[in-house]
């Protein structure tokens, strides 16, 4: 039914639009230009396409190229691998590529670490719009409302560490750990969440006990992610000034994360 995904899309646009607008307005001394605000959202929408291509490529490599099968593995491990291959890795990789493209396009205008964060949030915002429209009609549509800012949060985490890495690099400090966190943290959180929700094999079990375990696990990770969204956004609001002060010495090289 087309009405459900449309409603999901509209709700996502309203909720995330408000969050994104407030984040932009908090930058000191002034917000970035309109192009720098809009392009990440557009690229975020587009990023779902390459993420699907990466997913199909990984599945082909594992099943056909390497002949690897998850059959016979423990339930949780099987779910984890499926979540990693189908969502965690390809989606976060695709969003990171779009962020790096934005950093390159706006290399002369990005002023500080907070603008990295805004680009990450924008890419996550755009990705959510496409995803909610594409998958908003599934049986978990209502539960998705509670984690509606998840992709935006993943984008913020990724961009925050990329911006910090850039800041450290300009000061000739070791930035390897920040680069690792930028990709590994969103992938891990995303994969763990999907392991116990979208790819939770226990939920498909005909055994009532296993099905109950699946429901409890799904609720636990959903509540955890819901709380994480709120805590991270509140903390980011408090730390806005700190990231705005992470100014880059040369705008000519900005965005070369």
Residue 226's pLDDT is: 95
Question: Band of the pLDDT at 63, cuts 50, 70, 90?
Answer: confident
Encoded tokens for 127 = 């990705």
- The residue length of the chain stands at 257
pLDDT per position as a tens digit, 18-55: 999 999 999 999 999 999 999 999 999 999 999 999 99
For the chain, the structural domain boundaries read 3-249
pLDDT per position as a tens digit, 94-112: 999 999 999 999 999 999 9
Q: What is the dihedral of CA 10, 14, 16, 21, to 10 degrees?
A: 140
Determine contact, residues 51/126, Cβ cutoff 8 Å.
no
Q: Average the pLDDT over 108-128 and give the result.
A: 97
Residue 143's pLDDT is: 64
pLDDT per position as a tens digit, 191-207: 999 999 989 989 888 88
- Is 139's pLDDT higher than 60? no
Higher pLDDT, 204 or 125: 125
Residue 252's pLDDT is: 43
Rounded distance between C-alpha atoms, residue 128 and residue 12, angstroms: 7
Residue 256's pLDDT is: 42
Residue 71's pLDDT is: 83
Place of tokens 């375990």: 213
Stated as kind and residue range, the H or E segment containing 5 is helix 3-25
- Please give the C-alpha separations between residue 221 and each of 82, 161, 190, 255, in angstroms, as whole numbers: 17, 24, 11, 34
Question: Band of the pLDDT at 137, cuts 50, 70, 90?
Answer: low
Question: Band of the pLDDT at 1, cuts 50, 70, 90?
Answer: low
Sign of CA dihedral 175, 176, 181, 182: positive
What percent of the chain is modeled with pLDDT above 70?
93
Q: Average the pLDDT over 149-160 and give the result.
A: 97
For every residue of 103-131, DSSP letters joined together read HHHTTTT--BHHHHHHHHHHHHHHHHHHH
Residue 255's pLDDT is: 40
Determine contact, residues 184/178, Cβ cutoff 8 Å.
no
Encoded tokens for 181 = 């966190």
């Amino acid at each position: 039914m087309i009405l459900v995904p449309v409603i999901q899309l509209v709700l996502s646009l309203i909720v995330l639009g408000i969050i994104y607008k407030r984040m932009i307005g908090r930058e000191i001394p002034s917000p970035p230009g309109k192009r720098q605000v809009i392009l990440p959202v557009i690229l975020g929408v587009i990023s779902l396409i390459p993420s699907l291509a990466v997913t199909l490529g990984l599945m082909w490599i594992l099943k056909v190229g390497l002949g690897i099968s998850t059959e016979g593995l423990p339930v949780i491990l099987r779910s984890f691998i499926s979540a990693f291959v189908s969502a965690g890795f390809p989606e976060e990789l695709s969003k990171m590529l779009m962020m790096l493209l934005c950093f390159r396009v706006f290399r002369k205008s990005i002023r500080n670490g907070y603008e990295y964060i805004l680009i990450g949030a924008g890419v996550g915002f755009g990705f959510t719009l496409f995803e909610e429209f594409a998958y908003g009609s599934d049986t978990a549509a209502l539960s998705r409302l509670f984690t509606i800012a998840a992709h935006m949060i993943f984008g913020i985490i990724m961009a925050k560490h990329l911006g910090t890495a850039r800041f450290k690099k300009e000061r000739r400090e070791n930035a390897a750990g920040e680069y690792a966190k930028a990709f590994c943290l969103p992938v891990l959180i995303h994969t763990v969440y999907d392991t116990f929700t979208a790819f939770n094999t226990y939920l498909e079990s005909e055994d009532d006990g296993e099905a109950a375990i699946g429901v409890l696990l799904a609720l636990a990770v959903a509540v955890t992610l819901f709380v994480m969204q709120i805590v991270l956004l509140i903390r980011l609001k408090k730390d806005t000034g700190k990231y705005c002060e992470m100014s880059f010495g040369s705008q000519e090289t900005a965005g070369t994360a």
